[in-house]
Amino acid sequence: SPLQLSGQITLDNFSLQSPYRYFKAQLPFELNQGRLDLQLSYDIDFADEAADIDLSAIDIGLTG
């Protein structure tokens, strides 16, 4: 049977400074501070040649 994955991803109070350091050359803004709260559910199905990815119940919060 084909591979199928499902689950939930949660980030609480994640500092945006770490990823910003890697992408700042491509971003048209400067980020001095910021934190991310993220929660989402995912379903990934590899039955076809291309993976079918479904994201749902997305909740995003930014502070700082």
Sign of CA dihedral 44, 37, 14, 22: positive
pTM, 2 dp: 0.75
Distance CA 30, CA 47 (A): 41
Q: Residue 47 and residue 55: Cα distance in Å, rounded?
A: 17
Q: What is the pLDDT of residues 10-25, one digit of tens each?
A: 999 999 999 999 999 9
The model's pLDDT over 21-41, given as tens digits with 9 standing for 90+, comes to 999 999 999 999 999 999 999
